[in-house]
Amino acid sequence: MSYDALLSPFRLKHLTLRNRVMMTAHVTNMAPLHVPSDQHVAYYRDRARGGIGLIVMGFPSVHPAGTNNVQEIAGYDPRVVPGLRAIADAVHEHDTPIIAQLGHAGRQGNSAYTMLPLMAPSAIPCPLNREMPKAMEPEDLDEVVEGHATTAAHVREAGLDGVEIHSAYGGYLLSSFLSPYMNERDDEYGGDLEGRMRLPLRVVRAVRERVGPDYIVGMQINGSDFSPGGVDLPEAQVIAQRLIATGALDYLVVKGSTYFVAHQNVHDWQNPRALWLGLAAGIKEAVGDFPVFAVGRINDPVEANAVIERGQADMVAMTRQHIADPETVRKLIEGRPEDVRGCISCNQGCLDMLPKGRHITCVHNPAAGYEAELGLGTLRRAEAAKDVVVVGGGPAGMKVAETAARRGHRVRLLERRDRLGGQVRLASNVPGRHEVGEVVRYLETQVRKLGIDVRCDVEATADGDDLEGADVVVVATGSRPVRRLIGVRSHQLEDVDGLELSHVHTSWDLLEGGIEPTHDVIVVDDGEGSWKALSIASHLARSGHAVQLVTPLPFVAASLGPYSIGPYMQTVFELGIVTHPFSIVRRVTESAVELTKEGRPVTLEHAGSVVLCGWHEPVADLYFDLKARGATVLRVGDAVAARTILHAVHEGERAARAI
Ligand SMILES: Cc1cc2nc3c(=O)[nH]c(=O)nc-3n(C[C@H](O)[C@H](O)[C@H](O)COP(=O)(O)O)c2cc1C
Ligand code: SF4
């Protein structure tokens, strides 16, 4: 496979970028004091070390009211300069230019962090954060223009290579002025395109004036708002041409969507790959040789290479891909594409951390956000090589095995099933969820390449021979579904009668046991509100079953991240799945499920099959047996408490480093 186009250099103004791969701006939530931190330095340094051509860091906000993350960099404050300089120095050491995005979140900001009103062209609330913004007055506009210029000056003073003006994603301030979907002003900043472009153009000119002619100034625009009455591609092409005509810009990044279609902002695996590529290509067509950068789930290097070959863009951003694997480019250069840890577009470890106020990480790269401790070059060989036996070949066990082997230990990996992968392999077999299988593919590849002694179909016991010779045993035996509804305890019920009946199954009975439910199925979520019940329900509905989905939560996808809920609920509606929110299962009989729904008794008749998609319990007998015998034994992942891939992989990494 050739990546020649992708790995070829690109001239951006006075800079020669060593390849066509970049990261677009992404908030990392690593600035608890609103100034760049050592965590930022370590994070960006590792990305630069991995060989990427260009990094855009996100997003120093240009005004206090423009903040939308709790630990965001306050770009308008001169105190950010030393920290930005430390980032620039670290990244430059590895020959990677770095640009800072200048952002104002507009009506998509968060006043809980600032106690300031949100700002917007018109008083129209954002559908995602549901807070009424202030329609900006002329002096507010002046402040925003000055905020961009001041922040740009701070970035330049700190030694970064450029700035990028954020005018994408609709509700972010500048793009909301461009979009008739949000801009209903009747003054000179609204109305026709000339009026709607007035503020963005003022910002572009002010920034250019402040940083001077020899500095890179880029801009991020929407190729389409995908929102009613918003900017579409033909209008975006005109916008792009007028922006370039200022002579003040050096490149454009092209995105799409607004928070009206929030799930498309940072689209997860439910959305098509390369969702915005047509927009970038359309803008490229309109602007000729002017540099245009494409982004948006172009996480397959083969596709990224093809984008450059086809001339659809000059650079390709693989943003989350570099959160998942900062060494993507180096591995491609070295001809090791199989070692690239592919981003699975789940958002669980990165984007979904932001509303939780947490810094980003990655479900299968434990080093992301923890670079100082776990990043490139931190893994040390063990002082004494030990015989390590890992029991359980799911993500937790495979991660332990991989990391322990890299440290020089002799590792044996035992798995009771006939293949490695554990529950993640089961999940990846659910139609539509195959991308999660990349976690298993990556780890399995490493386990094989490292020559780890893998033994499948082995049910290890404390008395058997399988653990013989082990200096350390790591129990990663995962979890299994319980045939109980633990969640009902939150509703003061002792237990639910009827779960022992033969037509009541667990999710595993279907996924692994090959049980084929009857036509009418009632799927029960026990208050987890996550992918499990949703995936099973939609899989069954797609295969022609009549599905009802019961949950005690206000809606069935209540625990999914805000950027994932939309498409999933849409799927539920389109498949005709009948949902029963606020519903607690009281009793299962031969033909019905009795609920308390919204406080009232309700009976669901024709319950041919009932599928429990409830909580799991750890499988940890081996751990307790070994512990009782005084063996050196560790426990990781679901065998400790049933949680997610993120916990499994992170714990696996740390356990192996402790051996
Ligand atoms: C954690 C996170 C934070 C982000 N923050 C920003 C941001 O501050 N500004 C911005 O323009 N885009 C932001 N994005 C969007 C990315 O720039 C990019 O458009 C998105 O990740 C899709 O590209 P990818 O599929 O290559 O990751 C963010 C994405 C993530 C995952
Ligand atoms: S958490 Fe998921 S989406 Fe984010 S970088 Fe990791 S694999 Fe990609």
Q: Which of 45-77 are b and which e, b meaning 16 or more Cβ less than 10 Å from the residue's Cβ?
A: bbbbbbbbbbbbbbbbbbbbbbbbbbbbbbbbb
Regarding the beta carbon of 323 and ligand 2, being less than 6 Å apart is answered: yes
Q: 28 CB less than 6 Å from ligand 2?
A: no
Structure tokens at 33: 């004091």
pLDDT for residue 491? 76
Give pLDDT tens digits for 339-348.
Answer: 999 999 999 9
Residue 283 near residue 249 (C-beta atoms within 8 A): no
Contacts of 43 (CB under 8 A, 6+ apart): 28, 30, 368, 369, 371
| 590 burial via Cβ count (<10 Å: 0-12, 13-18, 19+) | exposed
Give the tokens for residue 389: 């036996």
Average pLDDT in the 293-318 region? 97
> Measuring CA to CA, which residue among 272, 268, 260 is closest to residue 222?
260
Q: Is the CB of 343 under 6 A from ligand 2?
A: yes
- Tell me which of 3, 43, 172, 568 is the catalytic residue: 172
Select from 20, 26, 59, 222 the residue to mutate for testing ligand 1; criterion: most ligand atoms less than 8 Å from CB: 26
pLDDT band per the 50, 70, 90 thresholds, residue 568 = confident
Q: Is the pLDDT of residue 427 over 90?
A: no
Q: In angstroms, what CA-CA distances link 245 with 242, 278, 290?
A: 5, 23, 11
Looking at the predicted structure, is the pLDDT value of residue 110 above 90?
A: no
Best substitution site from 20, 27, 219, 270 to test ligand 1's pocket, by max atoms within 8 Å of Cβ?
27
Q: Report how far ligand 1's centroid is from the alpha carbon of 337 (Å).
A: 24
Verify whether ligand 2 is closer than 6 Å to residue 361 (CB atom): no
Residue having the nearest C-alpha atom to atom 7 of ligand 2: 343
Nearest CA to ligand 1 atom 28: 26
Model confidence at 404, pLDDT cuts 50, 70, 90, reads: very high
Mutate to test the pocket of ligand 2, among 47, 364, 644 (most ligand atoms within 8 A of CB): 364
> Strands across the sheet with 609-613, in order?
504-506, 609-613, 520-525, 546-550, 578-580
Protein residue closest via CA to atom 31 of ligand 1:
351
C-alpha 417: how far from its chain's center? 30
Question: Is residue 568 annotated as a catalytic residue, yes or no?
Answer: no
Considering only residues 563 and 301, tell me which one the structure prediction assigns the higher pLDDT: 301
The total number of residues shown for the chain amounts to: 659
Q: What percent of the chain clears pLDDT 70, i.e. is strictly above it?
A: 100
- Is 328 a pocket residue for ligand 2 (Cβ < 6 Å)? no
Q: Which residues face 618 on adjacent strands?
A: 479
522-539: average pLDDT: 92
Which residues 6+ apart lie within 8 Å of 424 measured at CB? 394, 395, 436, 437, 439, 440, 645
Look at ligand 2, atom 6, and give the residue with the nearest C-alpha.
Answer: 362
Place 511 in a pLDDT band, splitting at 50, 70 and 90.
confident
| Per-residue confidence band for 492, with pLDDT thresholds at 50, 70 and 90 | low
Q: What pairs with residue 10 in β-bridges?
A: 17
**433/498: higher pLDDT:** 498
Q: Tell me the pLDDT of the chain averaged across its residues.
A: 95
* Overall average pLDDT of the 362-373 stretch: 98
Q: Whose CA is nearest to atom 6 of ligand 1?
A: 26
With 0-12 / 13-18 / 19 or more C-beta atoms within 10 angstroms meaning exposed / middle / buried, residue 441 is middle
Q: Picking from 110-114, 131-135, 399-403, which range would have the lowest pLDDT averaged per residue?
A: 110-114
CA-nearest residue for atom 13, ligand 1, is 26
How far away, in angstroms, is 91 Cα from ligand 1 center? 19
| Contacting residues for 417 by C-beta, under 8 A, at least 6 apart | 393, 456, 457
Q: Whose CA is nearest to atom 5 of ligand 1?
A: 26
26 lines ligand 2 (CB under 6 A): no
pLDDT of residue 531: 87
CB under 8 Å to 621, separation ≥6 — which residues? none
Phi, psi of 84 (to 5 degrees): -60, -40
Nearest CA to ligand 1 atom 25: 297
Structure tokens at 418: 């006939």
What is the average pLDDT across 401-415?
A: 98
**Among 96-100, 474-478, 489-493, the least confident range:** 489-493
Q: Whose CA is nearest to atom 29 of ligand 1?
A: 26
Highest mean pLDDT, choosing among 6-15, 109-118, 431-440: 6-15
Whether ligand 2 lies within 6 angstroms of the CB of 367 is answered as no
CA 169 to ligand 1 center in whole angstroms = 10
Mutate which of 27, 99, 266 for ligand 1? The one with the most ligand atoms within 8 Å of its CB, which is 266
Instruction: Report CA(322)–ligand 1 centroid distance (Å).
Output: 11
Mean pLDDT of 45-66: 96
How far does residue 197's CA lie from ligand 1's centre (Å)?
24
Q: Is 28 helix (H, G, I), strand (E, B) or coil?
A: coil
At 412 the three-state DSSP class reads: strand
b/e sequence 369-402, b meaning 16+ C-beta within 10 Å = bbbeebbbeeeeeeeeebebbbbbbbbbbbbbbb
Asked if residue 350 has its Cβ within 6 Å of ligand 2, the reply is yes
- pLDDT for residue 153 is more than 90: yes
Q: How far is CA 605 from CA 271, 420, 518, 609, in A?
A: 35, 40, 14, 11
CB burial of residue 468 (10 Å; 0-12, 13-18, 19+): exposed
What is the Cα–Cα distance from 206 to 326, expressed in whole angstroms? 34
Q: How would residue 354 be classed by pLDDT, with cut points 50, 70 and 90?
A: very high
Please check whether residue 492 is in contact with residue 518, taking contact to mean a CB–CB distance below 8 angstroms: no
Residues near ligand 1 with C-beta < 6 Å? 24-27, 58-59, 101, 103, 166, 168, 220, 255, 266, 295-297, 299, 317-321, 350-351, 354, 360
Query: Which ligand sits nearest to residue 362's alpha carbon?
Result: 2
Q: Is 593 helix (H, G, I), strand (E, B) or coil?
A: strand
**pTM, entire model:** 0.96
pLDDT tens per residue across span 190-247: 999 999 999 999 999 999 999 999 999 999 999 999 988 899 999 999 999 999 999 9
What angle is formed at CA 130 by the lines to CA 125 and CA 131, rounded to 5 degrees?
65
